[in-house]
Amino acid sequence: MLSRRRFFFRAAISTLAAQIGLHFRAAAQRLPTLHPNDSRAARAITINVNGVERTLTVEPRVTLLDALRDRLGLTGTKKGCDQGTCGACTVMVNGRRIDSCLTLAVMHAGDRVVTVEGIAQNGVLHPVQRAFITHDGFQCGFCTPGQIVSAVALLNEGKRLDRETIRTEMSGNLCRCGCYPHIVDAVLEAAGTS
């Protein structure tokens, strides 16, 4: 049998849910329908993501990070600061590593984007990924996708790498768990084997 307290609790939750629903419906009705020529209107773009052509419809205000995570379901790329300071959102665009929170999806129509989901090939881990495991290059793992994408791009850049260079080149990828020595070990090993 429903206790009096539980009954009132459930009634309160239902009322709250109904009010939230009404609020969002009213807000949606207030949104203006934009003319397709309006620069703020959503548009269809095609981006090559991890080797697959993906077409999505996005408003010009949507960042590449949000398009990848929320529209394409590629949640490996993390949203940390959302303002270009932590590197958790690092992806490769046409081979260059960038902070995907600092760029708009519509600017990348026709580009080649590689996220952490596209680093392993046919189920085989990239040497950087193997080295991160060998050297315990992570603790909570939140920064790890960005670290891995950044490290893979760094190796592709073909620079001569020593500990100091790796630290400098990866300085845009912060790790709040302080795994830096292990990350540098991992990148150094991957540089020697890839």
Assess 98 for contact with ligand FES (CB under 6 A): no
Assess 95 for contact with ligand FES (CB under 6 A): no
Output the smallest distance, CB 73 to ligand FES, in A. Answer: 18
Question: Which region, judged by CB under 6 A, interacts with ligand FES, from 22-30, 104-112, 128-136, 170-178?
Answer: 170-178
| Closer by beta carbon to ligand FES, 142 or else 188 | 142
According to CB under 6 A, which one of 45, 47, 79, 98 is a site residue for ligand FES?
Answer: 79
According to CB under 6 A, which one of 93, 175, 186, 187 is a site residue for ligand FES?
Answer: 175
Six token digits for residue 57:
């419809």
User: Could you say which DSSP state residue 139 is in?
Assistant: S
Assess 143 for contact with ligand FES (CB under 6 A): yes
Contact present, 128 and 190 (Cβ < 8 Å): yes
| Closer by beta carbon to ligand FES, 60 or else 80 | 80
Question: In the window 16-75, what residues touch ligand FES (CB under 6 A)?
Answer: none
Report the C-alpha gap between 42 and 156 in whole angstroms.
35
Output the smallest distance, CB 171 to ligand FES, in A. Answer: 12
| Torsion sign across C-alpha atoms 109, 115, 117, 122 | positive
| Closer by beta carbon to ligand FES, 38 or else 82 | 82
Report the C-alpha gap between 94 and 106 in whole angstroms.
15
Output the smallest distance, CB 132 to ligand FES, in A. Answer: 10
Strand order in the sheet with 43-49: 52-58, 43-49, 112-114, 90-93, 96-99
Output the smallest distance, CB 60 to ligand FES, in A. Answer: 19
Listed in sequence order, the residues at least 6 apart from 140 whose beta carbon sits closer than 8 Å to its beta carbon are: 176, 177
Contact present, 60 and 104 (Cβ < 8 Å): yes
Contact present, 101 and 79 (Cβ < 8 Å): yes
Output the smallest distance, CB 66 to ligand FES, in A. Answer: 11
Summarize as ranges the residues that interact with ligand FES (CB under 6 A): 79-82, 84-89, 99, 101, 138-144, 175-177, 179
